[in-house]
Chain A
Amino acid sequence: KAGVTQTPRYLIKTRGQQVTLSCSPISGHRSVSWYQQTPGQGLQFLFEYFSETQRNKGNFPGRFSGRQFSNSRSEMNVSTLELGDSALYLCASSRGPSGGNQPQHFGDGTRLSIL
């Protein structure tokens, strides 16, 4: 069974640009959550999608957005990139909505570097 797949693995952008990251969940999983991981802040929750609807959102500015497609694949977009957006962006999927009694399964992330 294939795991969570994130593309691309690495990305280099400059300030002011925008970026789109992609996540394919485990087959049969309908929930996709996105996290930002940095050395100083640890794992911070961005948002969660379930059945194409955003269920939860973390404390990030509106420059961070996402969506989920009918096949459960998800994308997140960051506009007007800032140096502080450099991080590892992780996607996690679960069969049902996150929260509740089930673990999330993570991809290996997209390493985004802003120059």
Chain B
Amino acid sequence: GESVGLHLPTLSVQEGDNSIINCAYSNSASDYFIWYKQESGKGPQFIIDIRSNMDKRQGQRVTVLLNKTVKHLSLQIAATQPGDSAVYFCAENGKTSYDKVIFGPGTSLSVIP
């Protein structure tokens, strides 16, 4: 398959604290990156994206950082809330529309009230 999902990393965070979820992507030629949030019983939901010509992009309470040198992506969630509890996936797209989307294994975020 296209995803390596041997085990699911977990992160527990106190409500109100900031969360940082990390992702190592596989292809140095990948050109576009996306973070998805998947709540129990639902499909992945788009959160934020970033192109390879940027190293930072901010949304509402979320920031994505891209480090192409070490092929690393991170998602920062400010003032984490109980509703943020979910599994978070990073995904990478290649430069062409024929490249497959590759998903990371996911990180389970648990917010402690």
| Interfacial residues, chain A to chain B (CB-CB below 8 A) | 4, 33, 35-36, 38-45, 48, 55-56, 58-60, 90, 92, 96-109
A89 vs B42: C-alpha distance when bound (angstroms): 11
Please tell me if the beta carbons of B96 and A42 are within 8 angstroms of each other in the complex: no
Structural contact, A101 and B31, CB atoms closer than 8 A:
yes
A-B contact sample (14 more), CB < 8 A, given A39-B8, A42-B1 = A38-B5, A41-B3, A42-B103, A43-B44, A43-B89, A58-B1, A60-B1, A92-B44, A97-B98, A98-B97, A100-B95, A100-B99, A101-B93, A108-B41
A44, A106, A108: the one contacting B2 at CB < 8 Å is A44
Contact partner of A33 among B6, B36, B89, B101, CB < 8 A?
B101
Residues on A with beta carbons closer than 8 Å to the beta carbon of B89: 43
Q: Is B25 an interface residue when CB atoms closer than 8 A count as contact?
A: no
A-B contact pairs, 14 of them (CB 8 A): A41-B1, A41-B5, A42-B4, A42-B103, A42-B106, A44-B2, A45-B3, A45-B102, A56-B98, A96-B97, A98-B101, A104-B101, A106-B44, A106-B45
Q: A39, A43, A60, A107: which contacts B103 (Cβ < 8 A)?
A: A43
Chain B residues with CB under 8 Å of A108's CB are 41-43
